[in-house]
Structure 1
Amino acid sequence: MQIKKATDIEQTKGTYLIYGAPGKGKTSTAKYFPGKTLILDIDRTSKVLRGEKNVDIVYIDNEDTWNDWGNTLADLTTNYVGVYDNVVVDNVSELERCILSSLGAEGKNNGVPSQGDYQYMQFRMVNSLRYMKNLDSNLIWTAWEEIDLWTDSNGSSYNIALPQINRKIRNNILGLCDVVGRLMVKEDDERGFILQATDSTYAKNQLDNRSGCKQSELILDGTVRLPE
């Protein structure tokens, strides 16, 4: 075993999932990230970043998504480890649907994905996050928001805002992330992230003690300082 003292851990890259309703500003958050950022654009909203000098964009094929996404991951993990400070997948809600559509088009059910296609998608999504955590970059996945009925250990049920991710893998995906933040817009149009869970919002922050932050302060300096 290779043992490392916790006192020797000074800083690390973070894995983030940020979510919110369409148009709240999830994609625009990338303009505030320190360093060089790569956007993997699935939903074609990266035009809001036009003119940003430190942002590069790769358009994921939204028809042959199964093959193109696999090739993109292979290219990233082979040739781009440590090249970008931040790698953004925008967005995973649409990526799931594009993968299912791509698999369905190759099947024999008039374009409708089979049960097996859902399983292929689920495994690929979780494995994608695992692979991308080795890029030596801050990893940021964006997702749309949905309201779901949540039942706690006491049997009480209530509505809660969650990232729109397939239910069978949602806990796995969220568990692999260091930070899950819900993007909110105040009446004065100021945007920020909820980073602490409430009865109405799923969120978490395992990197520092902030319960929330401004949109521009999600990643402060390109790396994450662990709390003292």
Structure 2
Amino acid sequence: MQPIKHASSIDRTKNWRVLIYGKPGVGKTSAIRNLDGKTLVLDLDDSSKVLSGAPNIDVQPFDRSKPSEEWKEFLKNLAERVSGYDNLVIDNVSAFEKDWFVERGRASKNGIGNEIQDYGQWANYFSRIMTMIFMDAPVDVLVTAWENTREVTSETGQSFSQYAPAIRDSVRDGLLGLTDVVGRVMVNPKTGGRGVILEGNDTIFAKNRIDGRKSASIETLFEFGGGDDVHTASVSAEAGKPSAPKAGAGK
């Protein structure tokens, strides 16, 4: 067991774990350019072209046809692999999830569909991978994902559709529990500016346990411990607007 430490000595900004999610094309991968220091990107969805010319970013290509084998190789001597880097980016776990199920489908009896045991195996497999990344990588870690909606029920009994990272329910909550910051990336349709919602509500899953910001511009997202909020309205007029509860909700 590790030695006891006083809470006053805890540095909330050291080796942070951040997940950002959003629709394709909103700038999740481009946001990697705003990280300080040297960065290694595990490119799970072949989107690294937008990083062309970045001087402090190295990209590890990923063969999407054999994701299990690629992950096994990547995780060998993880601490040594990220030695000399300040940041590790796992770019698009949603794509990885999709590719893993395709791989398992090929190995099924009919060579196409997934079998019941695949879903339980996925939960264990993904959890082990992300726990290893978060616990063993001695660097800041950024994870990106697509977005979808999930059904949630508020304390008042109303049901809402909430934006959340596009990962299966069986593994999503475990991953989000390990993460210091979860933000939804959005684009202001009027200005084209990109911002990140860092405070959750009934319609958006988000959290920030590093500093007090409720939102940030994409350029200042990783400046933890300082900076001011970007007003939600400057990100998108719809960003913090609760959707109407479903018919019959709360009854």
Instruction: State the TM-score, normalizing by the size of structure 2.
Output: 0.84
Paired residues, what number? 222
Distance in 2 (alpha carbons) for counterparts of 1:212 and 1:225: 13
Instruction: State the Cα deviation string for residues 160-188 of structure 1 (Å, max 9, x = none).
Output: 11110101111111111000000011120
**CA separation of 1:82 and 1:4: change in aligned 2, threshold 3 A:** farther
Contact 2:92 2:144 in 1 (8 A): yes
**Residue 46 of structure 1 corresponds to which residue in structure 2?**
48
Paired residue type of 1:180: V
Q: Is the 8 A contact 2:90 2:144 kept in 1?
A: yes
**Letter aligned with residue 217 of structure 1:** T
Cα distance 1:163–1:146, how it changes in 2: closer, same or farther (>3 A)? same
1:31 aligns with 2:30: no
Shift of 1:111: 2.6
Q: One-letter code of the match for 2:105?
A: G
Amino acid aligned to 1:201: I
Match of 1:208 among 185, 207, 211: 211
Measured against aligned partners, the alpha-carbon deviations of 1:4-29 in whole angstroms (never above 9, x if no partner) come to 11112234111111000000000000
In the alignment, is residue 177 of structure 1 matched against residue 179 of structure 2?
Answer: yes
- Residue of structure 1 in register with 2:125 after alignment: 124
Secondary structure of the residue aligned to 1:216 is coil
CA distance in 2, matches of 1:181, 1:201: 9
Q: Which residue of 2 aligns with 1:6?
A: 7
CA displacement 1:147-168 (0-9 Å, x = unmatched)? 2221123321012111101011
Show the counterpart of 1:189. Answer: 192
The more displaced of 205-214 and 108-117 is 108-117
Structure 1 alignment gaps of length 5 or more: none
- 1:189 & 1:15 partners in 2: Cα distance? 27
Which residue does 1:91 correspond to in 2? 92
Structure 1 residue runs of 4 or more that deviate by more than 3 Å after TM superposition: none
Q: Give the letter for the 1:118 counterpart.
A: Y
- 1:147 to 2:154 alignment: no
Give the residue type in structure 2 aligned to 1:195: L
Larger Rg: 2
CA distance in 2, matches of 1:141, 1:8: 26
> What's the C-alpha RMSD, in Å, of the aligned pairs?
1.6
Q: Which deviates further from its counterpart, 119-128 or 130-139?
A: 119-128
Secondary structure (helix, strand or coil) at the match of 2:101 reads helix
Secondary structure of the corresponding residue to residue 110 of structure 1: coil
Question: Does 1:15 find its partner at 2:17?
Answer: yes
Higher strand share: 1
Query: Which is bigger in relative contact order (C-alpha 8 A, separation at least 6)?
Result: 1
Cα separation, 1, equivalents of 2:82 and 2:88? 10
Asked if the contact 2:154/2:202 (under 8 Å) is kept, the reply is: no
Match of 1:166 among 154, 165, 168: 168
CA shift, 1:81, in A, is 4.4
Aligned 8 A contact 1:82 1:135 in 2: no
Identity level (%): 36
Secondary structure of the corresponding residue to residue 213 of structure 1: strand
Deviation for aligned residue 1:70: 1.9
TM-score by length of 1: 0.92
Per-residue CA deviations over 1:42-73 (Å, capped at 9, x if unaligned) read 11111000010111111111011111112212
**Post-superposition shift, 1:216?**
1.1
